[in-house]
Amino acid sequence: MKILLYNPDNGVTRNFMPHLWMFLLKSLTPDNHEVTLIDGNAQPMDEAGIALYVRENKIDLVGIGAMTRMIAKAYRMADAVRSVGVPVVMGGPHVTEMANEALGRDGGSRHADAVALGEADQTWPQIVQDAAEGKLKDIYAPVDAFGQESKPSLQPYPAIPWDKINLDQFNLVPKMAKSLLGKLGAGWGTFRIIPMESGRGCPYGCEFCTVTGFFGDSIRFRSNESVVNELLLLKSRAKKELGQIAVFFIDDNFAINVKRTKSLLRDIIAAEAQVHWVAQISANLLRDEELVDLIAAAGGKWIFIGMESIDPANLKDVNKGFNKPGEYAAVLERLARRNVYAITSFIFGMDNDTTGVAERTLEQIRTWPAGLPIFGLLTPLPATPLYKRLELAGRLTRPKHWQEFIPFEMAHTPLKMTIAEAHAEVKYGWASAYSPKAIAQAVDSLFYKPLGYRINILIARLCFRGIYFPQMGRFAWVKVISENRRIILKLAKEGFQAWRGSRMKVVESPAPIV
C-alpha cells in the first residue's frame, strides 16, 4: 500500500520542528508498504490540494494526526480525502477524547473511517494490515489480551532512521542565507530542530492538561543507550551535511525522575553525544544544582518552564500548587549562571486573575535573567478536569471551540474579569515583552555574556514574537527586522569587529620557523 501521513498546519506559525508521531509511525510500518510524510506547516496544502495529491500519487490510506486546535482543518482535509474514495485513519489527543465526533456518531458528519485511540505504537501495524485487507474497524484501542488498557513500554524503542530520512522540508536556514553561509563554510547549510522523546507520562495531573489522562500517570522511559544512539545519529547527520542540529526533548517533564535524568545526562556526556537541546522541566525539579550542572554539560540550552501564574491561588485552583512563584527567580538565575535560558509560559484568564495581571507578571519577568516569556489563555481542552469543571458550572461560552478555532480567544468566562479583558491582557503581555525596546533591553541585559548568547536570544525573541503576531510572509519579516534594526546592527558591528580583530592577530603573528 501507499500510505500518506499528514499533519495539518496550525495556521499561525511556519514549521520549526517536525511532528514526532509521523516519523514514529513510519518506523513502525511493515516494510512492504511505502510511507510519505507531509507536514502542512512546511508544505501548506488545502482540501483540493490533498485530494489531488492522493489521486495523482495513488495513495491507498491516509493517516491524519492533530491537536485540538488543528482538528477543524484536519476534518476538512479528511473529508477531501474520503471524497475521492481513500480511507482515513485519525489519531492523536483530540480524537482520542472525541472519537464519536470523528466517526460521526454524535449527530455530525463522519470524518474518519477509523480512529486510533491513545498511543498507537502497538495498534498501528494492525491498522495497516486491516486497511490492506479492506476491513478497517471503527476504533483501535491499545489493549492487552485481557482487554485492559496497555501502554508501550518504550523498551525497545523503534529506531528512527534520522540519517536516511529526507528532511528537506525542515530546514530553518532561509534559502537566501543558505547559499551565503554555505560559501563561508560556516557549517550552517542546514539547521534543523528534531523532536525526540526520552520518556512518556506525567503524574502531576494539572487541571488544564491532557497529558496525565492521555499518557497515564505511569512514567515510562527509553533506555539511556537508545537515546544516546539517536543523538549520535543526528550529530553525524549534521556533520555530514555541514549543518546544525538541535533537539527538542518533547517529554512533558524531562526531569520527572531526577535520578534517571541525571544518569541519562551522564551517559550523553560520556558518549560525547551532546547537541544543543531544549526540554520541558517543571520549576520544582530545577532546585537541584547537580541536575542543572549536568543539563548544561550535556548540551541543554533552553528549558521550557510552565510557570502559568505568579499567583499561588491560581496555581492551587488548577492543581499546580507545586509551582512556587517565590522561587522562580532563583531557578532562572541557577540556569542563567550555566548559560541555560528559560522559555517561561504563563496563562491568563485564570479564576483569580484581575485586570492588570499582565503588567504585574511583566514586572516580575523584568527582574529575571532575560529569556523567552510566552502568554496564553486558560483553555478547556476536551476531557480535561478543567473542561468538566467549567461545563458543570455552566461557564463554557463555546463548548465546542475547536469546531471554529480562533487563536487566543477564550471559550469560557473568567471569574474576575471579562473575556475581552482577558484577551487584552494577553495582547499587552506579547506587545510589551516583544516590542523592539523590550527585545533590545533583553539582549543588552546580557552584555557580560559572549556575543553568541546574545545573538541566540535576539533570534529567538524575533521568532517567538511570531507566535502572537503572525509573521509568516517575507514582508512581515522585513518589517520585524527593520523595527529591530538598532539592536541587530549593534550585534552585527560587534561581530564584525571581533572577526576583524581575529584576522589582524593572524596577520601579525610571526611566520613559523621551519
Residue 124 binds ligand B12 (CB under 6 A):
yes
Residue 160 binds ligand B12 (CB under 6 A):
no
Distance CA 271, CA 254 (A): 20
- Among ligand SF4, ligand B12, none, partner that 471 touches (CB below 5 to 8 angstroms by kind): none
3-class state of residue 120 by DSSP: coil
Question: Which are the contacts of 169, defined by CB distance < 8 A and separation ≥ 6?
Answer: 15, 18, 39, 42, 43
- In the shown chain, the binding pattern of residues 212 to 251 toward ligand B12, with x for contact by CB under 6 A and - for none, equals --------------------------------------x-
- Grid cell 464519536 is found at 100
**How far from 210 is each of 106, 365, 380, 386, CA to CA, in Å?**
22, 27, 10, 10
Cβ closer to ligand B12: 75 or 454? 75
- Among ligand B12, ligand SF4, none, partner that 93 touches (CB below 5 to 8 angstroms by kind): ligand B12
Interstrand relation of 139-140 and 191-196 (parallel, antiparallel or unpaired)? unpaired
Interface segment toward ligand B12; rule CB under 6 A; list 18-26, 154-162, 163-171, 485-493: 18-26
Interstrand relation of 88-91 and 61-65 (parallel, antiparallel or unpaired)? parallel
Interstrand relation of 220-221 and 199-200 (parallel, antiparallel or unpaired)? antiparallel
Residue 252 binds ligand SF4 (CB under 6 A):
yes
**Nearest 5°: CA angle at 39, between 35 and 41?**
175
Q: State the minimum distance, in angstroms, from the CB of residue 511 to ligand B12.
A: 52
- Among ligand SF4, ligand B12, none, partner that 205 touches (CB below 5 to 8 angstroms by kind): ligand SF4
Cβ closer to ligand B12: 191 or 487? 191
> Site for ligand SF4 (CB under 6 A): which residue of 211, 234, 279, 467?
211
Interface segment toward ligand B12; rule CB under 6 A; list 207-215, 261-269, 287-295, 409-417: 207-215
**How far from 419 is each of 11, 214, 313, 328, CA to CA, in Å?**
23, 29, 20, 28
E strand spans, 313-385 = 341-348, 372-377
Cβ closer to ligand SF4: 8 or 382? 382
> Site for ligand SF4 (CB under 6 A): which residue of 140, 204, 387, 428?
204
> Site for ligand SF4 (CB under 6 A): which residue of 209, 228, 315, 370?
209
Q: How is residue 190 written as a grid cell?
A: 542546514
Q: In the sheet that 276-280 helps form, which strands lie side by side, from edge to edge?
A: 191-196, 244-249, 276-280, 300-308, 341-348, 372-377
Interstrand relation of 88-91 and 372-377 (parallel, antiparallel or unpaired)? unpaired
Q: State the minimum distance, in angstroms, from the CB of residue 144 to ligand B12.
A: 16
Q: State the minimum distance, in angstroms, from the CB of residue 292 to ligand SF4.
A: 18
Cβ closer to ligand SF4: 77 or 202? 202
Residue 112 binds ligand SF4 (CB under 6 A):
no
> Site for ligand B12 (CB under 6 A): which residue of 52, 67, 165, 297?
67
Distance CA 123, CA 104 (A): 22
> Site for ligand B12 (CB under 6 A): which residue of 101, 121, 308, 317?
121
Residue 342 binds ligand SF4 (CB under 6 A):
no
Residues 331-350 touching ligand B12, rule: CB under 6 A, are none
Distance CA 242, CA 239 (A): 5
> Site for ligand SF4 (CB under 6 A): which residue of 112, 202, 342, 458?
202
Candidates 225, 231, 223; CA nearest to 249 is 231
Residues 183-202 touching ligand B12, rule: CB under 6 A, are 195, 197
**Nearest 5°: CA angle at 249, between 17 and 446?**
85
Q: State the minimum distance, in angstroms, from the CB of residue 347 to ligand B12.
A: 8
> Site for ligand SF4 (CB under 6 A): which residue of 68, 282, 384, 484?
282
- Among ligand B12, ligand SF4, none, partner that 282 touches (CB below 5 to 8 angstroms by kind): ligand SF4
Phi/psi class of residue 187: alpha, beta or left (left: φ > 0; alpha: ψ in -120 to 50)?
left
Q: How is residue 91 written as a grid cell?
A: 489519531
Distance CA 25, CA 36 (A): 11
Cβ closer to ligand B12: 4 or 442? 4
Residue 199 binds ligand SF4 (CB under 6 A):
no
Which chain residues interact with ligand SF4 by CB under 6 A? Answer: 202, 204-206, 209, 211-212, 252-253, 282, 306
Which chain residues interact with ligand B12 by CB under 6 A? Answer: 10, 12-13, 17-21, 24, 63-65, 67-69, 89-94, 116, 119-121, 124, 195, 197, 209-211, 250, 252, 376, 381
